[in-house]
Amino acid sequence: MKTFLRLLEFARPHRKFWPRYLIVSILSVIFGIVYYALLEPLLTVLFVPENIDLSATLPQFTLSVDYFKSAFRFYLGNFMQNYGLLTGLVYVCLVLILTSFISNLLRYLSQRILVSMRTHIMRNVRRELFKKITKLHIGYFNTHRKGDILSSISNDVTEVQNGVANSFHILFREPLLIIGFLSVLFYMSPKLTAVTLLTLPISVFFIGRLSRKLRREASQAQSMMGRIVSYFEEALTGARIIKAFNAQKYVNKSFQVSNETHRLITKKMFNRQELASPLSEFLGVSVTAAVLFYGGYLQMRGELGMDMPSFVVYISFYYKVLEPAKVISNAYANLQRGLASGERLFAILDIEPAIKKSANPLSITEFKDKIEFRDVSFKYINEPVLKGINLTITKGKTIALVGPSGAGKSTLADLIPRFYDVTSGQILLDSNDIRDYEPKELIALMGIVTQEAILFNDSVYNNITFGLEGVTTEDVERAAKIANAHEFIVNLESGYDTNIGDRGANLSGGQRQRLAIARAVLKNPPILILDEATSALDTESEKLVQEALTNLMKNRTSIVIAHRLSTIQHADEIVVIKDGSIVERGSHKDLIDKGGLYSHLCQLQTFS
């Protein structure tokens, strides 16, 4: 219930939907009840017309069931007395058609309101989910399967729409019908209705037990679907490796295990779901049989208090009570699947941000002095990645971070824009802890170019201007020229308007990297972080990209992570990291002369 109520919160403002919906639904239920109540005079006219009082008088108006019932009988008697039995039958049929039309028109109008609310909810759920994913810290994506996240975005949202949002009209309108029809049943025969209602808790028990199992199985099925989506995502992104290693059999076998497990869980879940309808119908017929038995028993004793048409209408009303109850039981079964998916969505939406903003953040618009690491340590879970880092990066200087793979170079760089927060120690920027600054303003000071150029399925122009506003075409072209990208861009089919495909698939590695550099040039940040920006390129592309990086680094504070040591020999200071600690620092010449780890790494690359 808590998950259901939280999903309803996405329908705010409620006044936009609920008042209109309740008014229209109540009117629809009233006319629906009148429609079925007209069966009594219809049967009376057809089978026992002598029971109609032709001398009845129009009663004084009161807002009660008895008044409307007496008024209808007055006009029916009038028609039959003045125009004959057939005209009376026409009168009843016309009123029947009119009430049915009004009831169904109002039902349609209520559905339109709910459709508007349903689409409103799903739009808001997707919006909040997307906003949350864009705000999650980087570490979240390293500890969670991408397939689970994608499954929540697609499958879980769809299940919420099918199982929860589509059940709103059933869960709100059908109870109104049950209340309305039960009221009429109590009005017609309180004794018969009260006794037969004692059988309903048995139905509720069986359906409730079935629904609880459905919810548990739905949660397991959605979890397995997340794993299946992960396999598909890995197959798409790793297609070359799978083919290169002839690993189709291996990945197919792994996929089939998860796929078969998902099949068995969903088979069991759908079997239970299909059981809901026949079970509720069987229980409904059983209750109806109980009504017929007890009604017959009262009639034999002369205590029923109804004639034949009235008893037929009573049974019709009782069946109409069972009909929405059956619909609700089916909807409740579907609802369990939707609620299980809703819980998975809220598991993402409720994640507390790992990177918290200061209660009174400082504003920062420019970098004036230095970045300082003071005894900084960091660990992802338990194993320390950085230990006791002390480092000062002065404005305008280029600092290179080198060392073996896994030494902690990229992690150290990721701490500066607060992709992660330090476990202990401090990082100061212009003498203030970076955790005290407004996060958006802090990261606005930095430009980042990584080993893998992150591009989007959009035009060249939009990829360069990504996230920036008020940019002119001249600014974009100037940035592309500095990044050595303008020449290849103008030779593309549509120039700057060319779509580069998913992740820039239509471009070469060097072209993608130069676009990423052009993006950083356009941002014009005072602090630049280059994370092995040339390591995956061939010699010709590396030369062009290195020239672009040299242009980009002019008059900026740069932190360069380099695998190819030839690219950082002119850095103001080279910091050598091993096992999370700084083991050497100095200029290229000083470190070569020292003959330590840096010198050894240079020798391995036949460079000294």
Name the residue with tokens 């824009």.
Answer: 417
All CATH 1.20.1560.10 domain ranges in the chain, comma separated: 2-349
What average pLDDT is seen over the chain?
Answer: 80
Nearest to 433 by CA among 515, 324, 442: 442
Nearest to 225 by CA among 269, 273, 167: 269
44: exposed, middle or buried (Cβ count in 10 Å: 0-12, 13-18, 19+): buried
Residue 133 has pLDDT above 80, yes or no: yes
Query: Minimum mean pLDDT among 99-103, 303-307, 535-539: which range?
Result: 535-539
pLDDT for 415 equals 92
Query: Minimum mean pLDDT among 310-324, 381-395, 546-560: which range?
Result: 310-324
pLDDT for 607 equals 47
Q: Is the dihedral of CA 402, 588, 548, 399 positive or negative?
A: positive
How many other β-carbons are positioned within 10 Å of the β-carbon of residue 458? 14
For residue 270, give the amino acid letter: F
Annotate 324-361 with three-state secondary structure.
HHHHHHHHHHHHHHHHHHHHHHHHHHCCCCCCCCCCCC
The DSSP-derived string for 278-291 is: HHHHHHHHHHHHHH
Distance CA 263, CA 250 (A): 20
The DSSP-derived string for 293-319 is: HHHHHHHHTT-----HHHHHHHHHHHH
Q: What are phi and psi of 456, to 5 degrees?
A: -120, 155
Distance CA 432, CA 207 (A): 62
pLDDT for 205 equals 65
Is residue 48 very low, low, confident or very high in pLDDT (cuts 50, 70, 90)?
low
For residue 538, give the amino acid letter: D
566-596 residue pLDDT tens: 778 888 899 999 999 999 999 888 888 888 8
Burial state string for 404-434 with b = 16 or more CB within 10 A and e = fewer than 16 = eeebbbbbbbbbbbbbbebeebebbbbeeeb
Q: What's the mean pLDDT in 250-259?
A: 84
Cis bond before residue 175 (omega within 30° of 0): no
Q: What are phi and psi of 389, to 5 degrees?
A: -80, 125
Q: What are phi and psi of 317, to 5 degrees?
A: -65, -40
- Contact between 406 and 565 under an 8 Å Cβ cutoff? The reply is no
- Contact between 562 and 537 under an 8 Å Cβ cutoff? The reply is no
110: exposed, middle or buried (Cβ count in 10 Å: 0-12, 13-18, 19+): buried
Is residue 165 very low, low, confident or very high in pLDDT (cuts 50, 70, 90)?
low
Nearest to 558 by CA among 355, 413, 426: 413
pLDDT for 429 equals 94
Question: Which residues does 333 contact at the CB level (< 8 Å), separation at least 6?
Answer: 207, 210, 211, 214, 272, 273, 276
**Strands laid side by side in the 573-578 sheet:** 446-450, 527-531, 557-561, 398-402, 573-578, 581-586
Query: Minimum mean pLDDT among 84-88, 120-124, 129-133, 249-253: which range?
Result: 84-88
Q: Pick 125 or 164 by higher pLDDT.
A: 125
The DSSP-derived string for 559-606 is: EEE-SSGGGGTT-SEEEEEETTEEEEEE-HHHHHHHTSHHHHHHHHTT
Q: What are phi and psi of 457, to 5 degrees?
A: -75, 80
> Any bridge partners for residue 445, and if so which?
none
Regarding the domain with residue range 370-604, which homologous superfamily does it belong to in the CATH classification? P-loop containing nucleotide triphosphate hydrolases (3.40.50.300)
136-149 residue pLDDT tens: 877 777 777 777 77
Question: Which residues does 389 contact at the CB level (< 8 Å), separation at least 6?
Answer: 373, 375, 376, 377, 412, 425, 581, 582
Name the residue with tokens 């059956």.
Answer: 326
Range list of H helices, 136-238: 138-143, 146-151, 157-163, 168-188, 190-196, 200-237
Residue 263: both structure tokens together: 């099949």
pLDDT for 608 equals 44
Residue 549 has pLDDT above 50, yes or no: yes
Name the DSSP class of 474. Answer: H
Q: Pick 242 or 489 by higher pLDDT.
A: 489
Residue 245 has pLDDT above 70, yes or no: no
Of the chain, the percentage scoring pLDDT greater than 70 comes to 86
- Contact between 276 and 325 under an 8 Å Cβ cutoff? The reply is no
Q: What share of the chain is helix, strand, coil (3-state, %, to 5)?
A: 65, 10, 25
pLDDT for 582 equals 92
182: exposed, middle or buried (Cβ count in 10 Å: 0-12, 13-18, 19+): middle
Residue 46 has pLDDT above 70, yes or no: no
All CATH 3.40.50.300 domain ranges in the chain, comma separated: 370-604
pLDDT for 250 equals 78
415-471 residue pLDDT tens: 999 988 999 999 999 999 999 999 888 988 988 888 777 888 888 999 888 878 888
Distances (CA, A) of 315 to 184, 197, 584: 11, 13, 92
Correct CATH for 2-349 of 3.30.2000.10, 3.40.190.10, 1.20.1560.10, 3.40.50.300: 1.20.1560.10
